[in-house]
Chain A
Amino acid sequence: MDEGALRALVPAVLAGLVRRGEDFAAAEDALQEALLEALRVWPDQPPENPRAWLSAVATRRLIDARRSEAARRSREDRLHERREPEPLSTETGDDTLFLLFCCCHPDLPPAAQVALTLRAVGGLTTRQIADACYVPEATMAQRISRAKRSLRGRRLTEPGDLAVVLRVLYLVYTTGHAGRVDLAAEAIRLARQLTLATEEPEARGLLALMLLNHARLPARLDEQGRIVTLDRQDRGRWDTREIAEGVRVLQSALALERPGRYQIEAAIAALHDDAASSAETDWPQILAWYDDLVALTDDPVHQDPAAVLGRAVAVGHVLGPAAGLRETERLREVLGDRHRWHAVRGHLHELAGDLPAAGAAYAEAAHRATDVGERDHLIRQAARARSSTHRDPGEPGPTDTGIEPLG
């Protein structure tokens, strides 16, 4: 049994333990120990029923832990902590959803929700999560145990907030693809599990959005690790299998006619993926989806400025760069200090043929970037715009911001 198959068993086993009335934190610890033992023992002695084996070993650990606990605590304390066992569920899809609700408890800070989800639902080790988030292992271990401590004593049986779960999974996706563990792929795996557990169209919208963006990942960086903008990517390197799956999932979500932000963002990503070349991008339709996106909030400039900024790019392509620049003006107070706002304006100035203004905007963006790869890209854009006072008609056209539509 490989590590992936082993990890796939985690939600069912953990949910089983918690539903039986075990404390979430203690059960999670016990299961981690059982997983480590499985990796050690199974190569020589493969179990007949892996899930039952894990559950039995974790239960043994829990009993051991309780015995040593009992030596320290009084009987009274323990009676106080006991909880009524919950009825057993028969569906494994429920297990994933149940655990996601536990790990994405609204009272936890986002970083803790992410870490706990990766461990308790994803089955990753603390070391793997630490690597993926670029923090020392001890720091991540502490973050996880603090999160578990703050969940202690909470009732984990009430229905959770699916919107929070979706946000956490998207955060896992955007946390990175660079480390030794591909968190983007992990987020997709978790979102796929989630769609098996709920009919909610936004869950499918999120899965579709991840797939449709992830499909372009192989073309996003060149051999030297430099960002390649969407309009210059080698579209032959896009993952057509992932695009097809993303479109299929998106269509099944849209068919339910309960649109939401993930479905709309996925629809925009699908239109980018669908264009055979950047010149063939269906900007009018993208703009129409952005109109829907900004209509989801009463005050999009303050409640969803990223959507308004993405829409400004689409406006620039449909109605002309001057109109796009006017749109960005509405965001000056909210986003004027952010690199994306300046990068988008650089792009629109370049579309308009105003290279000095584009160069200045890209330089402002570089100055504010918080990611080295994006900073380097924006410096290149600035240098390029400033060095070409007139454009050779044979040269490629203006490039895009280097930032995914809603990144």
Chain B
Amino acid sequence: MPKYLLLKHYRGGPEAHRPVPPMDQWAPEDVEAHMTFLHHVAEVLAERGEYVGAEALTPARTWVRYGGPGAAPVTTEGPHPETSDLVAGWYMIDVESHERALEIAAYVSSEPGPGGEPLYEWIDVREVMTAPASGA
């Protein structure tokens, strides 16, 4: 079965279908509904045997590169342009088909936002390449 990574973003991606303020500015009951839904998604995936993992990332980002022989690594901590993509987290799923991956992503995207209305968040669906066969 192919594995897919469903990426959620703090920012970036196609133009938002429904722009919303940051979650800390929502009504408390909307925050609650949103969080409950995301737990529910993980439970459904686990129950169906499709769940591989899920992780959240903090928004702090450091770019780093080799600094050259004997030199310290070179880092840049921004500020980054507001348009650059910033991944917020992901679900890793193991599913029958690409269609099923899209179906799950769309379900995630239906997560409730302010006023209980769906967020219509864009989810970035990426297929994971299988590792090369090895003798190990």
Count how many chain B residues have C-beta atoms less than 8 Å from C-beta atoms of the other chain: 17
Cβ contact within 8 Å between B26 and A383: yes
**Given A224-B36, A376-B35, A380-B32, also A387-B27 (CB < 8 A):** yes
A45 shortest CB reach to chain B, Å: 38
A179 shortest CB reach to chain B, Å: 15
Q: Which residues of B contact A (CB under 8 A)?
A: 22-28, 30-32, 35-36, 39, 56, 58-60
B-side contacts of A366, CB under 8 Å? 24
Cβ-closest chain A residue relative to B54: A372
**Given A224-B36, A376-B35, also A370-B58 (CB < 8 A):** yes
- A sample of 11 more A-B contacts (CB under 8 A), given A383-B24, A383-B28, is A363-B22, A366-B24, A367-B59, A372-B56, A376-B35, A379-B23, A380-B31, A382-B24, A383-B23, A383-B30, A384-B28
Number of A-B contacts (CB under 8 A): 38
A-side contacts of B35, CB under 8 Å? 376
Cβ-closest chain A residue relative to B25: A386
State the main secondary structure of chain B at its contact with A: helix
A-side contacts of B60, CB under 8 Å? 368
For A370-394 the 0/1 string (1 means CB < 8 A from B) is 1010011001101110110000000
For A340-366 the 0/1 string (1 means CB < 8 A from B) is 000000000000000000010011001
Assembly CA distance A382 to B27 (angstroms): 10
Cβ contact within 8 Å between A363 and B24: yes
Assembly CA distance A296 to B30 (angstroms): 46
Assembly CA distance A386 to B27 (angstroms): 8
Interface flag for A301 (CB, 8 Å): no
B-side contacts of A384, CB under 8 Å? 28
Q: Which of B25, B36, B56, B58 contacts A383 (CB 8 A)?
A: B25
Assembly CA distance A386 to B60 (angstroms): 24
A-side contacts of B36, CB under 8 Å? 224
A-side contacts of B58, CB under 8 Å? 368-370
Cβ contact within 8 Å between A379 and B24: yes
What are 5 A-B residue pairs whose CB atoms fall within 8 Å in the complex?
A363-B24, A372-B56, A383-B23, A383-B30, A383-B31
Assembly CA distance A370 to B57 (angstroms): 8
B-side contacts of A375, CB under 8 Å? 56
Cβ contact within 8 Å between A383 and B27: yes
**Given A224-B36, A363-B22, also A380-B56 (CB < 8 A):** no
